[in-house]
Amino acid sequence: MRHFNYFENGGPAPSSCIACGAVKELFEIGQLLSGGMAQICKKCVHELAEFNGYVPEAPLQEQIDLLKNDIEAHEIELARVPDKVEALINGIRSSVTDFIFAVSYGIDADKPAPIRNIESTDSGEHEASKAATGQRKAPVKSSSK
Ligand SMILES: [Zn+2]
């Protein structure tokens, strides 16, 4: 990138913007054929840049700040996901345990032996009998792995 000399309070005389005549905040852009240096002021550089499609810094910074806030909000939301998943898993685990508990008590109360024999083909029978003996959490853990 080219380096441009910048004069905050005006350059070596004669010193003024070749576009608008301003005498402060000047960039030196090259040698004039008539002698002296061609200079253009900051305001005219900005106008030229905007005319060329460059976006002013302020709106860009505004958008950057908005995006940063958006990212922060998403990061906070993302950090909560494991807890939410854990709560869902616990809810499902508790529901399944309650269901197994209720089913096994219902089976034991009505007809213990015959129904167990009918259901012995699937794994539900094993868990139901364990839950009935008071090992409430053990069957659920084994079935979730
Ligand atoms: Zn100017």
Kind and range of the H or E element at 37? strand 37-41
* Ligand 1 centroid distance, CA of 15 (Å): 11
pTM over 0.85: no
pLDDT reading at 31 higher than 50: yes
Residue-level pLDDT at 115: 53
Ligand 1 being an ion, which residues bring their Cβ within 5 A of it? Answer: 17, 19-20, 22, 41, 44
Mean pLDDT of the chain: 80
Contact criterion met (CB below 8 Å) for 123 and 139: no
29-67 exposure pattern, b = at least 16 Cβ within 10 A, e = fewer: eeeeeeeebebbbeebbeeeeeeeeeeeeeeeeeeeeee
* Ligand 1 centroid distance, CA of 59 (Å): 22
* Ligand 1 centroid distance, CA of 58 (Å): 20
What are 26's strand-pairing partners?
7, 41
pLDDT tens readout for residues 66-108: 999 999 999 999 999 999 999 999 999 999 999 998 998 876 5
pLDDT reading at 138 higher than 80: no
* Ligand 1 centroid distance, CA of 55 (Å): 19
Residue-level pLDDT at 141: 45
CB atoms within 10 A of CB 10: 16
Residue-level pLDDT at 6: 93
Integer Cα distance of 92 and 99 in angstroms: 10
The encoded tokens of residue 4 equal 């441009």
